[in-house]
Amino acid sequence: MSEVVLTIDGVDGSAPTLDLEEHIAQVLSLHPSKVMAITDDDCASTATIIVYPELESCDADALAANINDAIKSGDAINSTLLPGAKCTVAADEESVSVASSDALEMWREMEDEARTGHLDGVLSPDGVMIQPTHVLNMTSDSISPTSLHLKRDPTLLTFDNVKRIDASQLHTISWEEPVIITNSITEELFSNRGILDKNRLASVYGQVEVRTGNRETLIDNGITNSKPMALEKALQLPQSEGEEMHLECGTIVFSPVNELPDSFQNEMRPFTNSFPDSSPSIQTKKFTLTLASEGFGIGMHKHQAAMFMLLRGRKKWYMSSSEDVEEDSQTHPGFYREKSSHKCIQKEGEVLFVPNMWYHEIFNLEYTAGIQALPE
């Protein structure tokens, strides 16, 4: 669940919206940046509340109930409300659509500190605790990210223990471990993957706004914490002939397909329609376009069962079940070696399935382009 949309009837229109957001965040034990309150232009006493919960399994009705309990108990939230105020789950798709549009505009206007200041520290690839930030330290170091990462994972370019299975045989697997699915894309469609070449994207869609982040900022609720950027800039194209940037944790494009221009969505649709549909964990899907240069993808994280279709480049994946990782406070750099049970080198045209709540991390062996599919 990426967001929950609630409605509060009985808002005190004279109270600052920021105060309402802070009180709701306190009631729900969230950072204030996880809550957006939007007042109704036609009715100042009604507000749409957009909540970005910490847990995928969070229930909208439960969030509304928590707010109503706080109202009844005389909590400080009442300083922003009128007598008899009540919180409910947004009742129809129109209210959700309007709220999402407003949320998108507010997301564009956020300061960088609001995007990442509330995030917990994460372990760097070398096991050093660092604070996620959108500020990248650019370098023209001659050592490539792959050469650097080979020091952490000597088997980076060779080790692969994930089972591969033809798309016609999906009925034979259990979906309890990672698996790479082959031949889910027709040869004709596969030959059209060049539409995601870096230079072509910059030429055709260079000015399109996309969501971006990096290894650290995308680990926790990455869509919400993402930063808007023109696609051309996000692709980190050399600014002059012969210039080459080497950045282990560079900019990653992580944009929901349904936020892209219609023409871009139309180009993606044949690929999104080609995802295997046999997994019981992913029957209805939401799709995210991901683009990244050589170097790290999103850092170690987990979520609901997912599939990833790779259309350009090669990715090294590190994966392990939650039970094998959660009690370990020092996962890195060991997660690239003995602390991940499954590793693979995904190639163009393959679809990787990652089971529910399995930890995983990615290293891009070159420029990569693909599509993630998660449950709606």
What does the pLDDT average to over 170-192?
95
Where does a domain end: 109, 144, 159? 109
Nearest to 154 by CA among 341, 315, 301, 333: 333
Q: Quick one: pLDDT at residue 251?
A: 93
Buried b (16+ CB within 10 A) or exposed e, 8-35: bbbbbeeeeeeebbbbbbebbebeebbb
Alpha-carbon span 65 to 20, nearest angstrom: 17
Q: Quick one: pLDDT at residue 260?
A: 96
> Which range has highest mean pLDDT (151-165, 236-250, 265-279)?
151-165
pLDDT higher than 70, residue 97? no
Q: Quick one: pLDDT at residue 52?
A: 80
Residues 64, 100, single domain; the answer is yes
Q: Which of 88-102, 183-197, 351-365 has the lowest mean pLDDT?
A: 88-102
Residues 240, 357, single domain; the answer is yes
User: Quick check: helix, strand or coil at residue 180?
Assistant: strand
Q: For the chain, how many structural domains are there in total?
A: 2
Q: Which of 126-140, 154-168, 295-309 has the lowest mean pLDDT?
A: 126-140
Confidence of residue 1 (pLDDT cuts 50, 70, 90): very low
Six-digit token string for 61 = 């009705």
Residues 104, 251, single domain; the answer is no
Q: Quick one: pLDDT at residue 39?
A: 77
The pTM of this model reads 0.79
Alpha-carbon span 205 to 171, nearest angstrom: 39
115 in a domain, yes or no? no
Q: Quick one: pLDDT at residue 139?
A: 58
Q: Please count the CA atoms within 13 angstroms of the CA of 20 that sit on its side-chain side.
A: 27
pLDDT higher than 60, residue 328? yes
Place of tokens 């969070």: 58
**Helix axis angle, 60-72 to 17-27, nearest 10°:** 110
Q: At residue 260, what is the residue type?
A: L
Q: Quick one: pLDDT at residue 222?
A: 79
Pair 365, 157: CB distance under 8 Å: yes
What does the pLDDT average to over 95-104?
61
- Domain extent, residue 308, equals 122-375
Residues 222, 260, single domain; the answer is yes
Q: Please count the CA atoms within 13 angstroms of the CA of 164 that sit on its side-chain side.
A: 12
Q: Quick one: pLDDT at residue 119?
A: 84
Pair 338, 330: CB distance under 8 Å: no
Q: Quick one: pLDDT at residue 93?
A: 47
Residues shown for the chain:
376
What does the pLDDT average to over 276-287?
76
Q: Name 351's Cβ contacts closer than 8 Å, sequence gap at least 6.
A: 180, 181, 182, 184, 275, 276, 307, 308, 309, 310
Residues 275, 363, single domain; the answer is yes
Q: Which of 117-126, 168-177, 248-257 has the lowest mean pLDDT?
A: 117-126
Indicate the helix (H) or strand (E) that contains 41: none
Where does a domain end: 83, 109, 135? 109
Q: Quick one: pLDDT at residue 298?
A: 96
- Range list of H helices, 252-362: 262-272, 322-325
Give the whole-number percent of the chain exceeding pLDDT 70: 88
Six-digit token string for 34 = 């996880």
Q: Quick one: pLDDT at residue 173?
A: 92
Does 112 or 126 have the greater pLDDT score? 126
CATH number of the domain enclosing 211: 2.60.120.650
